[in-house]
Chain A
Amino acid sequence: DVKVTQSSRYLVKRTGEKVFLECVQDMDHENMFWYRQDPGLGLRLIYFSYDVKMKEKGDIPEGYSVSREKKERFSLILESASTNQTSMYLCASGTGGSRAGNTIYFGEGSWLTVV
């Protein structure tokens, strides 16, 4: 089975703190994603990576950055956490190439509360 593991399920951070959310996948997938989930808004793409050290901004990248130093690991960074970044964060991975119907697989999510 594909496994996407998010290291922290629940975090509480203070405003202004730097926050790292870590994600690891074990399927040698080229593509990795960070989504944010909010009630009534569904999932919104923050960042996407299609290879090591390669990244693209998603729909809501402001206030976030990412790092992909190894193929299996994709980190989301909040440089200075703010209360409006309180949310559920979901990591996902999938195979690369031009086949747009490929499935992506999600981790269990990280609940972040910024106080």
Chain B
Amino acid sequence: AQSVTQLGSHVSVSEGALVLLRCNYSSSVPPYLFWYVQYPNQGLQLLLKYTSAATLVKGINGFEAEFKKSETSFHLTKPSAHMSDAAEYFCAVSRSSNTGKLIFGQGTTLQVKP
């Protein structure tokens, strides 16, 4: 069975600092992995996804994530945090049986301090 674990329900960084949000997955088949962002009172928006084309994936708003099979990880990073990055971030893995049926992690709330 597939699963996703996000380490840290809350992460706080200063504006301009590195953002690192951690995600580990468990999958018996090659996974498709996603990061979504949710701004307050909104739905989820895709940041980036890994579909086996390249291990380093670049997304919107300056975010990127690296797929590391040996570590079963797909951590999300951004070199310099901006106040507008404050949101909740979800890592997800696609179930092997059908497209779009995602298994989500618990979410990580990112706080950006001035």
Contacts and interface: CB of A to CB of B under 8 A. Distances in A.
Contact of A98 (B9, B42, B92, B99): B99
Contact of B44 (A96, A97, A98, A106): A106
Interface stretch (A13-21, A36-44, A67-75, A79-87): A36-44
A97 B106 contact: no
Nearest to B91: A42
Interface string B36-63: 1000011111100101100000000000
Determine chain B's interface SS by DSSP, over half rule.
loop
B104 A101 contact: no
B49 A42 contact: no
Given A41-B106, A100-B32, A31 B90 contact: no
Given A90-B44, A100-B96, A108-B43, A45 B101 contact: yes
